[in-house]
Amino acid sequence: MIRRKLLFIWIIAFVSFFPVFGDEGMWIPMLIEKLNIQEMQEKGLKLSAEDIYSVNKASMKDAVMIFGGGCTAELISAEGLLLTNHHCGYRSIQKHSTVEHDYLTNGFWAMSHKEELPNPGLKVTFLKWMEDVTGKSLEGINSGMSEKEREERISENNQKIITEAVNNSHFSAHIEPFFAGNQYFLFVEEVFRDVRFVGAPPSSIGKFGGDTDNWMWPRHTGDFSLFRIYANKNNEPAEFSPDNVPYEPVKFFPISLKGIHPDDFTMVFGYPGSTYEYVPSYHIKMLTKEVYPKLIDIRDKKLELMNADMSADPKVRIQYSSKYASVSNSWKRWIGEINGLDKLDAIAKKQAFENGFMAWVASDPASQKKYGTLLPDYRNVYNDLGRYRLARDYINEVFFRNGAELVSFSSKFANLIDLVENEDSPEKVSSAASQLISLTEGFFKDYNLSTDKKLFVALMKKCGENMPAEFQPSVFINIHSKFNDDYGKYMESVYKKTSFFNEDFLLEILNNPVKSKLKKLKNDPVFQIFESADDLMKGKIYPEYSRLSLELKSLNRKYMAAQMEYQKDKIFYSDANFTLRLSYGSVKGYIPKDAVNFKYYTTLKGIIEKDNPQIYDYDVPDKLKELYKSGDFGQYAENGEMHVCFIATNHTTGGNSGSPVVNAEGQLVGVNFDRAWEGVMSDLMFNPDQCRNISLDIRYVLFLIDKFAGAGYLLDEMDLVE
């Protein structure tokens, strides 16, 4: 009877977890010849593995890049023109925007190379090649090492590998762990730092639907922006210079005018950020029951306060638009993840798999010796990890991550204060002060004192009420005792005494950073709040969180290896880690709930139906309405309709924003920008019935450039395929 029960459990786990569902997976491009190319070709792909990734000839990988620090972009012309999402270029667009020149509201289009706008600090990164260096990375590693010793040895090994790979060239390199540290890959890259803003539609197109429509389908967002890479006369990376010329790539994407249709092959090629597909049930329980609900609650308050001030003042709307979008993005995703995981009954599914796994472990003495305590060890770690993970995230939310802004801003001065107090070299002091001058000017351009005061009161109150005393910064002792938890009164006391909202005063100090003046900043009540939060993080939260994370890292590596033993016939893909991956699938609608059946595309008609001049995010530009009314869609329409967005079954996540979506011939058909809300839990568990990536139809991009913006000259650079 017992044996039958164990067999039954094992079968459930096998059925639930054995297959990698048809379109699940984020695959390493250099390995697709071995793992995926046959299935991809069976699904319709007409390219070879070497067409996609090659170090010997120009391939698709040479036309894909990291844009900034967290998005993907693709080359679409022989003159270095690149395409990414509007929300990826949003910060650059916002930096160029003022009330007088509001490119967020009105859009921007350079009508010649001379009109393209430089973006200090913006970079794009190309992969030159990747290499499996597992043997070299793990050289000298043995089972008797502690996790810390192991990490130190691997770090030493990797530094040698990187030095040898770069070999005094202008390339850079890094090594990343795969399969929870069971495998290591080297990535050699080329970075370009002269990237200029070429064009973007107004936010009423590029961000149409705003945060209301974010993560949702149907979607009608023209989420794209254009930039251009510049290089020196030798076509090599160079800092910004008027003498630089447009970069000449070895590969760029041809653009299809044929459109997409149900069951068409689609491939997304980009840089997905992070996924956690192989974690135990304890991890999902920690996120959905302990961490996410509290973070959702505090972001509710942030969004409420920001939105009220943005709605009341156009200047504040510009100042806080990027901050609001940043806060809202994860807030809405967390809600979707909880709902999607509940719908999947994810915790129960994970537990069923774990029961089957432990039955397999128990059936073999060797496995029992290696893995017998694995899940109990996990349980012990997660018993404490949830508390420290929440404390870490909550303190960050209040003081450092679009929270109490002056406190976060004051933290930037800590390094300069230390340098001056320790009488470090004048060169270091001068360099730190110069960087702070630029940062200070940028901060006050996007700062509103009234909004910050409201956020300060609300978030400090949340921290005082929702965090246990052990996870409250020391300033709360004073708030509880002297101010009797009157957070408004405490705020007035702090802001009456602080100098951190006085830009002129700060710039005066930074232009002459002497000890006597910086001492005033160190004793400033806002800086003291930062120090109390920083002391809590460094003295209590980080040490314990780091210790638990190190234990977890060891367990994850062991559990990953164990799962690969347990399911030895399964083809595994490694979790995303912001390295180049491809996912493949097909164009397909879905049924989110009873009596609702979503088709695979949206049209301009849907934009007109949503038009509402009273709401900023739904105020359709007059010119777009005129184009719709006249039906002037040019060669970009299909059967009289102007398609806008489409969905497919590709497995994507954050970082895939801006990724090229290509058809079976390798031609660009879309730009990936989001996931459907019902499927955002795909970072933790993939549901083939609900997980859909949302992409912008490339024909809508071309229509907007040509007919709406009148920048058709840009299309002359492109290779349009009918």
Mean pLDDT of 420-438: 91
pLDDT in tens, 380-425: 999 999 999 999 999 999 999 889 999 999 999 999 999 998 888 8
Euclidean distance between CA atoms 42 and 552, whole angstroms: 39
* pLDDT at position 9 over 50: no
Q: Which residue has the higher pLDDT, 5 or 212?
A: 212
Helix (H, G, I), strand (E, B) or coil at 322: helix
Mean pLDDT of 520-531: 96
* pLDDT at position 14 over 90: no
Confidence of residue 336 (pLDDT cuts 50, 70, 90): very high
Residues 6+ apart with CB under 8 A from 36: 27, 584
pLDDT in tens, 441-500: 999 999 999 999 999 999 999 999 999 999 999 999 999 999 999 999 999 999 999 999
Euclidean distance between CA atoms 680 and 267, whole angstroms: 19
* Two tokens, residue 556: 């994850």
Amino acid at 721: V
DSSP state, residue 145: S
Euclidean distance between CA atoms 118 and 98, whole angstroms: 16
**pLDDT value of position 7:** 34
Q: What residue spans define the domains of the chain?
A: 29-123+193-276+575-721, 281-565
Query: In the predicted model, what is the mean pLDDT of the chain?
Result: 94
Q: What are phi and psi of 198, to 5 degrees?
A: -105, -45
Helices 374-399, 542-566: crossing angle, 10 deg rounding: 140
**pLDDT value of position 321:** 87
pTM, 2 dp? 0.89
pLDDT in tens, 248-284: 999 999 999 999 999 999 999 999 999 999 999 999 9
Beta-sheet pairing, 668-675 with 693-697? antiparallel
* pLDDT at position 13 over 70: no
Q: What are phi and psi of 55, to 5 degrees?
A: -105, -5
Cβ atoms 342, 349 nearer than 8 A: no
Q: How many CB atoms lie within 10 A of CB 500?
A: 23
* pLDDT at position 6 over 70: no
Active site residue 657: yes
Class of domain 29-123+193-276+575-721: mainly beta
Q: Where are the alpha helices (H) located in 167-232, listed in sequence order?
A: 203-206, 210-213
**pLDDT value of position 10:** 35
Q: Which of 54, 77, 86, 87 is catalytic?
A: 87
CB-count exposure of residue 215 (10 Å: 0-12, 13-18, 19+): buried
pLDDT in tens, 632-643: 999 999 999 999
Q: Which of 213, 223, 524, 674 is catalytic?
A: 223
Active site residue 113: no
Active site residue 223: yes
Cβ atoms 70, 270 nearer than 8 A: no
**pLDDT value of position 22:** 58
Distance from the first to the final alpha carbon of the chain: 65
Confidence of residue 18 (pLDDT cuts 50, 70, 90): very low
Q: Which of 59, 657, 659, 695 is catalytic?
A: 657
Confidence of residue 2 (pLDDT cuts 50, 70, 90): very low
Please, how many CA atoms are within 13 Å of residue 182, restricted to the half-sphere of its CB? 17
Backbone dihedral region for residue 197 (phi beyond 0: left; psi -120 to 50: alpha; all else: beta):
beta
Cβ atoms 222, 704 nearer than 8 A: yes
In the beta sheet, which residues pair with residue 672?
695
